[in-house]
Structure 1
Amino acid sequence: MELTPSRRTLLTAGLVGTAAAATPLIAPTAALASPVPQTDPFTLGVASGDPWPESVILWTRLATDPLAADGRGGMSQASHELRWEVASDRRFTKVVARGRATARPQHGHAVHVEARGLRPGRQYWYRFRLGRHVSPTGRTRTAPARNDMPSSLTMAFASCAHWEQGYFSAYRRLADERPDLVVHLGDYQYEYAGAASGTVRTHEGPETTTLAGYRQRHAQYKTDPDLQAAHAAAPWLVTWDDHELDNNWADSIPENEAERPGFLARREAAFRAYYENMPLRRSSAPKGYDMQLYRRLQWGKLATFHMMDTRQYRSNQACGDGWDTDCTEAGSARRTITGTAQEAWLLDGFSRSRARWDLLGQQVFFAERDREQGPSKTVSMDGWDGYTASRQRITDGWIEAGVRNPVVLTGDVHTHWANELKADYDDPTGRSVGTELVTSSITSGGDGSDSAIGSYPWQAWNPHIKFQNALRGYVSTVITPDAMDVSFRCLPQVRERGAQAFTRARFVVEDRDPTLHLVEDNPIDVVRQSPARQVAETMALEDEL
């Protein structure tokens, strides 16, 4: 299993509790003497992530009062020693690994256990204990052996879960599918202060700018039972977008220029809280205001996931960060959305890949998306359209490397899209060279709206766009050596908890054929909005991004 080593050293030697040995990295004297909380400390659930053939990361964070304003989750300044165990059966009659990990206050009482010595391509269950308290049970899976070709991989991906704009029923439906792997593409939480009215439920506290605030916000999201179910259902592979820190941030530049003084301190706080609350390996541990999230995960010979970060290293958005017409600056070869080091890493990964499918897990719209008909182009400066030289170098890189099946996985825009990628978007008749699958949001934007396939007006002058839908949901895939089966899963509403999911559209991408084949079309049984109204709603959503 390949995971790119961090380009930075760790913040401290004891930042992550590890299962390499039964003893924690820092002596547990205080932990052994600390009284066990009287109330349940496992209110935030459990999670696993970054699966390798023989190990996986197990996560939990102790909190008896998750919404405490100081970000401590109701915990004291004492450390606590947890016991963990992994079993090959749900009832834990066959425990295959166990150990101890210390939850320390300086790390938000979070633990990241590297459970080693597991068998490749196997399903496992795990849990934690603290005194008489037992955590919920999580289900996880190791990746196949490096040279194995598994018959299939079920993978779901999601993004954009705004607490205030709906219930996380889509996470529950995703969990019900019991995928092998969940990929989360960012906007896991939103930084905004609680709205005064007009929301389904309300953020606790002001806009997040401090470590205490980010810890509190992550904890609030983690209290949601549907999100907890999704984490407990499968290992996650995560990356962030903008709202984990600040809307539309770019490198050291905040959304509002007046907030630039002190922004790096805010960035450091957000990164630290993100790491504390995600099932990530040591290589992703932050050092100050830097944190390397781009990394590579191999699923046998079937698939390679190139997880990317298009926020931390990007040039500032050109011509503002909204939509602009014929922005010359956007095409500058000096501009980058990945940074030079990450771009080199990605191109090297293409040249080395022998996988049947190469999947780029990243944040923002990759294909060209022109919202105005005519010779001029009006595109979003926040997506790859604002960094066209970067996009061309990445696209040329997978073409030159002979990547067999490149697929870009995208979030951010709160709507489902399916696109064929071109080497030259000015030549719409040219061959397609890859595929982009874009997931809608879990809740961001509220209930959304349905539309008939092919009715979205922009498709007339963006013929590489094959599908668009503004209902909430996620994308579920089944990847085999011969094809990638893609289901765009949608919910009719998110303002009330418990909505059921249905497949709005299903496409197949065949091996060595980077085109989208529609095999299923299931319109929702509601009154449809006019295309003009749907476009207006989509534009309003994207103005909020």
Structure 2
Amino acid sequence: MTPAQTHTDELRAAAARFGRRRFLTVTGAAAALAFAVNLPAAGAASAAELDARRITEDPFTLGVASGDPLPGSVLLWTRLAPRPFQADAGLPRERVAVRWELAHDERFRRIARRGTATAHPEFQHTVHVEVDHLAPGRAYFYRFRAGDWVSPVGRTRTAPAPGARISGLTLAAVSCQAYHDGYFTAYRHLAEEDLDVVFHLGDYLYEYAVNATGGARAYTDRRLPDVFDRETVTLEDYRLRYALYKSDPDLRAAHAAHPFVVTWDDHETENNYADDIPENDVPSEEFLARRAAAYRAYWENQPLRAPQRPVGPDMKLYRRLRFGRLAQFDVLDTRQYRSDQAYGDGWQVPGPESEDPSRTLTGATQERWLIDGWRRSDARWNVVPQQVVFAERRNVPTTGYKLSMDSWDGYPASRRRVLDGAAAAGVDNLMVLTGDVHVGHAFDLKADFRDPASRTVGTEIVATSIASGKDGADRPANHDALTRANPHMRFYNGRRGYVKVALGERSARADFRTVTAVTTPGAPAATAASFVTEAGRPGLTPA
């Protein structure tokens, strides 16, 4: 099959999947075609090859990363960018051979695997290496070489073997890192934690303009180029924005220290979009072209495997990872397939529109996949890393309360089906990991949120933001109102930071780690609160 035939087939596949999105119109087909072609064909040279010895500046300015650990495999990532704030990143449109090494030790005396990968210009010289035939449940060190240049060293881990009975697993959950709102100080502390894996729950970047002084970072010793002082719309815009974010040393340190499992929310594309419906009033085809650009740049710049590579504006991001018999992680995408927000979005009084049983946050296919996975699960903990608040969250403790139409509260029938599916599957230890709202929450999940005395069926841990919302406060202005309105809410804190969760056979512990400030660098970290939930007895108690 020729490359042209391959590209045509990809386009037809995209059109078949997205018929309702008018892909068969001339404009829609053109938008799909723009991002289904110009991809390197399998087994073929896509461009002339650059002799890596001609690279005269450090190409590893954006660091290294690993992700999606499997029992015998890890995914390694890097991107060649000698001049990351230029559109071409300082490299010609030529492919580059990049050597990689995986070792048992940090000094690379005991090499486990090594090889060569190609950095294609079509993917902005990003590298995704799926290293197989590794031992399960092991730590490894890795690095890349391009010519005479050597990347920073990263540390990663494989998942435990299927069916392995492991005594514990420690993870961190992070979200929402608006560069213009402050420094990524929390990542520096996270890099020093002893973790098995980090889950990024969305808003890895923001589409909004970043001015020359870095917004709230208020740089006095440097100025950012004006390519960032505009909203991201094109593929070039999104690629440059990832370069800006990954230029942050604390983010690079966190990626180098731990494998990440990533999922997006809205800002990686556009605020509060729903499926093919944009926030602003633009034609669907125009938005889908933007979405295709955003999805492609997301895959290029994240440690994601080949099955997640997008075709046009479609990218299957929901997926399942298992860590022995201790934990199953069902990573959701609550943005790409959802119904439009009810009542025009925002906080609204719930009613027939939001409570329509046909409404969905996940789409029918993903919903079935989630529930079917629970039926087959033998894990002690069934954990759902996802984006928006799952528990009911009323804004006031009186009648006439409002709910967020962008969260699961705007899709209560969808939430009911998921909880009923968990009950039917016999899921005893359900834990939802959430981002999005720039605060830390701990919730008991109730069989009936209208009845505080109803059965507790799981827990939800909401990770605050890394930087979004600037410094925040321990007690936000609406702290008392939300606390009284939601008796199933066990914790509410508005500082920046992350959550560390230790899963064990008998219990799980969540530590809410916060920093005092992000508008100035170097703030210390502390534990704002800790909670425990016992296996077989859902519900949170202070540790």
**Residue 160 of structure 1: aligned partner:** 176
After superposition, residues 121-520 of structure 1 pair within 5 angstroms as: 121-195=137-211, 199-201=216-218, 204-258=228-282, 260-451=284-475, 456-519=480-543
1:26 aligns with 2:50: no
Aligned-residue offset at 1:420: 0.4
Distance 1:303 1:326 in 2: 35
CA contact (8 A) 2:211 2:229 kept: no
Find the residue that maps to 2:243 and give its secondary structure. helix
CA contact (8 A) 2:52 2:146 kept: no
Aligned equivalent of 2:79, options 37, 61, 81:
61
Find the residue that maps to 1:448 and give its secondary structure. coil
Distance 2:50 2:472 in 1: 51
**Residue 28 of structure 2: aligned partner:** none
Gaps of 5+ in 1: 1-5, 18-23, 520-545
Against the structure 1 CA distance between its residues 174 and 238, is the aligned structure 2 distance closer, same or farther, given a 3 Å change threshold? same
Aligned equivalent of 2:58, options 28, 37, 40:
40
TM-score (norm 2): 0.89
Against the structure 1 CA distance between its residues 151 and 14, is the aligned structure 2 distance closer, same or farther, given a 3 Å change threshold? farther
Gaps of 5+ in 2: 1-9, 18-34, 219-223
Aligned-residue offset at 1:327: 2.9
**Residue 530 of structure 1: aligned partner:** none
Letter in 2 for 1:241: D
Distance 2:527 2:37 in 1: 47
Distance 1:26 1:185 in 2: 36
Distance 2:520 2:245 in 1: 17
Aligned-residue offset at 1:426: 1.3
Find the residue that maps to 2:145 and give its secondary structure. strand
**Residue 80 of structure 1: aligned partner:** 96
CA contact (8 A) 1:14 1:26 kept: no
Find the residue that maps to 1:65 and give its secondary structure. coil
Find the residue that maps to 2:354 and give its secondary structure. helix
Distance 1:123 1:34 in 2: 30
Aligned-residue offset at 1:56: 0.6
Distance 2:470 2:47 in 1: 49
CA contact (8 A) 1:65 1:73 kept: yes
Distance 1:409 1:395 in 2: 15
CA contact (8 A) 2:392 2:409 kept: yes
**Residue 21 of structure 1: aligned partner:** none
Distance 1:486 1:440 in 2: 13
Report how many residues are paired.
Answer: 505
Against the structure 1 CA distance between its residues 199 and 120, is the aligned structure 2 distance closer, same or farther, given a 3 Å change threshold? same
Aligned equivalent of 1:118, options 134, 149, 157:
134
**Residue 539 of structure 1: aligned partner:** none
CA contact (8 A) 1:16 1:111 kept: no
Distance 1:473 1:497 in 2: 13
Find the residue that maps to 1:51 and give its secondary structure. strand
Aligned-residue offset at 1:456: 2.9
Against the structure 1 CA distance between its residues 351 and 14, is the aligned structure 2 distance closer, same or farther, given a 3 Å change threshold? farther
Find the residue that maps to 1:82 and give its secondary structure. strand
Structure 1 stretches of at least 4 aligned residues deviating more than 4 Å after TM superposition = 8-17, 32-35, 195-198
Against the structure 1 CA distance between its residues 78 and 509, is the aligned structure 2 distance closer, same or farther, given a 3 Å change threshold? same
Letter in 2 for 1:31: E
Letter in 1 for 2:309: A
Aligned-residue offset at 1:195: 4.4
Against the structure 1 CA distance between its residues 156 and 106, is the aligned structure 2 distance closer, same or farther, given a 3 Å change threshold? same
Against the structure 1 CA distance between its residues 511 and 41, is the aligned structure 2 distance closer, same or farther, given a 3 Å change threshold? same
**Residue 24 of structure 2: aligned partner:** none
Distance 1:377 1:495 in 2: 34
Find the residue that maps to 2:100 and give its secondary structure. strand
CA contact (8 A) 1:28 1:81 kept: no
Letter in 2 for 1:502: A
Distance 2:260 2:479 in 1: 34
Q: CA RMSD in A?
A: 2.2
Find the residue that maps to 1:498 and give its secondary structure. coil
Against the structure 1 CA distance between its residues 267 and 95, is the aligned structure 2 distance closer, same or farther, given a 3 Å change threshold? same
Aligned-residue offset at 1:34: 5.8
Letter in 1 for 2:72: E
TM-score (norm 1): 0.89
